Structure 1
Amino acid sequence: MRSAHGAYAITSCGDVMAVKAHGPWNAECIKQFANDYREERAIFENKRWADIVSHIGESLFVPEAEAVLKAAITAVAQEGLCHVAIVIGRSTARSLTRSQLKKMYGKTGVDFAFFDTETEAVVWLTENGYKVDQSKLEEHLAKVPVTP
């Protein structure tokens, strides 16, 4: 049995990577997530892309996990990640989650915004020039996040 905390699902949906994340998270889980994300997003090589990240449950990061995720965000920002739509409507720790994520994304060069629903997030990303494969996104949202 692994000691990782947190669960996630990752799916490419047009010009967007969709992430469904159920916390809380520790550094081990974030490291595995970063590896899985990097493999999935390889299709965007030499292209710009965006993320829709849906936070579910107790969406909190231990300090080590926060540092690992910030480093991962900074790295993929240099490879083409430009916008992140953060959905925290189903998080049980919305204020603290928002605060942690603002701190993590703040100086990465990635344009980010918070939303209550995926529908609002899709509108924002579409306005910023991304094509979202709605059927793939719906399939993604029906997935249950899995623990690495």
Structure 2
Amino acid sequence: MTRFIPHGEVRVHREGRILVLEGHGPWNVEALQHSTDKAQPILQELSGPWGVMASIYGEPIHVPDAEAHLIQLVKKDIENGRVGTSLIVEKSNSPSFATQHFSSIYQQAGDNVEVFNDTIAAKRWLINTIQLAQSNLEKCSRGKNDAVCNSNLYIF
């Protein structure tokens, strides 16, 4: 595969069990790999259910290979405890396109995704999603034998 200069930027930091992303698009796969490298120390610190709150700026699009790469990254994150993604798209160049584009990516990855117009609502939803997943995980770990635990839906 030909390597290109990263196009697009993602800043990352952690707030409790939330990985906070601020992305300026458009993005290519090299930009995603660069942001993944920056996020690795944070991802290694997260345990139990956790989530992503992503604010999208600029052109809200991934080139096709970056989209496929992101789907695989999200699938891996879900295996490692990611229980949801809240997207804030109002400051992107095209909020309606951003909603469609990102929702499709995260849904293809099997993620629990919601779109918001502000960070307060996005964070509230994500905290509630993480708390519900934690509560369900604790119930299942105590040996509760119900449909939620038996179906592996305890994370939602």
Matched, 1:9 2:11: yes
CA distance in 2, matches of 1:91, 1:11: 20
TM-score by length of 1: 0.80
The alpha-carbon deviation at position 123 of structure 1 amounts to: 1.6
Match of 1:37 in 2: 39
How many percent identity over aligned positions? 22
Q: 1:48 matched to which residue of 2?
A: 49
Q: Deviations over 1:70-97 (max 9, x none)?
A: 1101111101000110110101022222
1:48-84 deviations in Å (ceiling 9; x for gaps): 1011000011121111111111110111110100011
Tell me, which stretches of 5 or more residues in structure 1 are unaligned?
A: 131-148
Aligned residues: 128
Task: Please give the TM-score of this superposition, normalised by the length of structure 2.
Answer: 0.76
Q: Please say which structure displays the higher CA radius of gyration.
A: 2
Decide whether aligned partners of structure 1 residues 129 and 64 sit closer, same or farther in structure 2, where only a CA change above 3 A counts: closer
Alpha-carbon shift at residue 118 of structure 1 (Å): 0.6
Tell me the secondary structure at the aligned position of residue 7 of structure 2: coil
- Partner residue of 2:28 out of 26, 29, 47: 26
Q: Does 1:98 align with 2:99?
A: yes
One-letter amino acid of the structure 1 residue matched with residue 52 of structure 2: D
Q: CA deviation at 1:40?
A: 1.6
Q: CA RMSD in A?
A: 1.5
In structure 1, give the amino acid aligned to 2:89: I
SS in 1 for 2:19: strand
Contact in 2 for aligned 1:60/1:93 (Cα 8 Å): no
Structure 1 runs (4+) deviating above 4 angstroms are none
Structure 2: segments with no counterpart, 5+ residues: 132-156
Instruction: For residue 129 of structure 1, report the CA deviation from its aligned partner.
Output: 4.1
SS at match of 1:89: coil
Higher mean C-alpha displacement, 49-58 vs 92-101: 92-101
Flag the structure with higher helix content: 2
Which amino acid in the other structure matches residue 116 of structure 1? N
Q: Which has the higher contact order (CA 8 A, sep 6+)?
A: 1
Quickly say closer, same or farther: Cα 1:56–1:13, change in 2 above 3 A.
same
